[in-house]
């Protein structure tokens, strides 16, 4: 897979454009209240500097050989999927159950086949977290919609 600083720079310029457009939606305040330093002042200053640097990055990348990087493996994409789904899973199944599932899914996705060890990790990890954080430090994790429904019934 090839990647080029010019493309990175263009992506950053697009980000700057979006961020600048978002600043146009900030509520306006009287100059007296803002003491002539409106809420858009600093973000726009930073965006301008970032856009200037991105233009330099685009220019510096032109004519330079693109770097060849390795193609991402299926293991990598599985990992991304597992990590990205934890937020959704936690709200449905609850945090502790989700972390138990992660402790099973991630090692398997990474090629681990010692299922007894995976099982021990999947059980011990949520229990340790519950003991240390919920009982020890009073951190209460969301129970999740399913557990919530079960408790209601």
Partner 1 sequence: MDLSLEYALPVLTDPIVIGLIVAGTVMGVVIGALPGLSSSMGVALLLPFSLYLEPIPAIALLSALYCAGTFGGSITAILINAPGAPPAVATAFDGYPMATKGEAGRALGIAAVSSASGGILSVLVLLFAAPLLAQVAYSFGPPEYFALGVFALSMLASISGEAPLKNLIGGCLGLLIATVGIDLTTGVERFTFGVPELYEGIQFIPVLIGLFAVTELLNQAQELGRERIAVTVSALKLPSLDDFRRVKNTILRSSCIGIFVGVLPAEGSTMAAMVGYNEAKRWSKTPDDFGKGAIEGVAGPEAANNAATGGAMVPTLALGIPGSATAAVILGGLQVQGLRPGPYLFEEQPGLLYGIFFAMLLANILFLFIGLLGAKVFSRISLVPRTFLWPTVFALCFVGAYGLNQSMVDVWIMIISGLVGFVLKKNGFGPAPIIMGVVLGGLVETSLAQSMIIFDQQWTGFLSRPITLSLLVLAVISLIGGKIRSVLRRLLSRTNRTA
Q: Report the interface residues with partner 1, using CB under 8 A.
A: 3, 5, 8, 12, 19, 22-23, 26-27, 29, 33-39, 41-43, 45-47, 49-50, 53-54, 56-57, 60, 69-70, 72-73, 75-76, 79-80, 83-84, 86-87, 90-91, 95, 99, 102-103, 106-107, 110-112, 117, 121, 125, 129, 133, 137, 139-142
Q: How many residues does the chain have?
A: 153
- Tell the smallest beta-carbon distance from residue 99 to partner 1 (Å): 5
The alpha-helical segments, DSSP class H, found in 25-144 are: 31-34, 41-61, 74-93, 95-109, 115-129
Q: Which two tokens stand for residue 12?
A: 């950053």
Nearer to partner 1, 43 or 147 (CB): 43
């Amino acid at each position: 897979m090839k990647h080029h600083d010019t493309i990175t720079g263009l992506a950053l310029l697009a980000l700057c454009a979006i961020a600048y457009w978002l600043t146009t939606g900030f509520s306006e305040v009287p100059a007296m209240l803002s003491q002539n330093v409106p809420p858009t002042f600093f973000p726009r200053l930073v965006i301008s500097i970032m856009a200037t640097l991105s233009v330099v990055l685009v220019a510096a990348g032109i004519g330079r050989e693109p770097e060849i990087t390795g193609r991402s493996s299926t293991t990598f994409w599985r990992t991304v999927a597992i990590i990205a789904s934890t937020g959704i899973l936690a709200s449905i199944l609850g945090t502790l159950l989700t972390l138990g599932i992660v402790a099973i899914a991630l090692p398997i996705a990474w090629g681990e086949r010692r299922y007894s060890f995976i099982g021990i990790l999947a059980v011990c990890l949520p229990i340790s977290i519950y003991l240390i954080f919920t009982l020890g430090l009073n951190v209460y994790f969301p129970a999740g919609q399913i557990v919530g429904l079960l408790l209601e019934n």
